[in-house]
Structure 1
């Protein structure tokens, strides 16, 4: 194996200076002398033959080469922290599961799926991160996540080597605050003409199916707002700003937690739930526990 001679301690100091915007602040953060930081970054730049930082006003900012180095640092050092956490937890008998949760996935669905990991004989330390689908896939490919829970599959032929595993599906129901529900449940779904409706944005897998469902029934509601984040959509629905669709598997939770009531059933509409992993075969015991819970009738 070729030895690059790269000093990772020096690289770490560069990372800290780039993040803090200056040597002084980085030195304060690390509890080291300014001269120590400066000398070691100078050694790093000499060893790689590239200038990594340059002054911009009172700040130090990465050069073009520095920005490239910084992008690698943002992968290297967080992974190192995760490695240390995993090793520490292994000594205590804990298992770590880093989960990415797509912002479009209903949070109650995510909770039900992850609840299975807390019922294992081995204690599981969950680390949950919510973000947009594409960002989570990138983190998964980099090894920052063990699995991504989402409502869509990975597009075939993509550049990332990740695999979609169907967890389950649920038909949909339309809910609303009691006052709205009473008004629009009559003559459902034809009575939805002009009804205030809260919808996911068009990049959401479910949105196209909802649009087609409305078109087939020849109703044109008033779209009050569109959301990427499912939790925000439900919050607006809870406060009576519009009707909203949710999986029928969550009907009791929607009524209990959000105070929303049923407007009507939409069995033709179905939402799918996936686990995305780096491996075609699931081997992580905590992810296997999620699949076992699904197969036991979670939905």
Structure 2
């Protein structure tokens, strides 16, 4: 069954099942000049231009390419828009606790990882990508997920490995997992044509730099900001580019507030949601090259 979206006051509304959407048309909520979109359309169009929806009209000209991104700057315009998240305080906390326990137990790691990522992506709204989700399966890269969990378990229990080799191995596994995550992102149940093209050597280098930067007490925040931008520049396969807008200073002061508040225990659920929502909102879809010009 088709799911419909419509634009109201510059924001995307939906999805609505076909029957409910036609009720909105009958009620006058969706008018002939309202911009609408459903899977299979190349872009946002006025409802009156779609044959059989609200009236007559010639079949629209369908341009090449996928549907335009929708954001604060309009429909199909230069601005794609920032991502948003609607995590609930206890929902995110509860799943985070189960995720950590599953990783420490090692064997459940592939299952709890997929379960956790499905929850996270289902609560993130991406401009122009309705019903954002994750299609990865536990057995896709079970070896990487379990090896990563084993190293995490070893660190948590104090089991000694060669420190540098363990860090490099963990960084490589994180690179494998990131490639898997990007390749399995979906919209409306269909995999997006995305891939992560950053090299393993580059990723390990950033990982090591982040570890070393902790010596400076505050420098790690700026390393993370630039690392996130490097990751975003290496996501390919779409007309738009993913950008990270957070600065080192923003990451630092929010991390300090988060840590201090969590030391009181009671605020943990709300602080985790606050930090998670902010971090997601720092990712945005922009025209290719716009992120490079901004920095």
Q: Same fold (TM over 0.5)?
A: no
Structure number with bigger Rg: 1
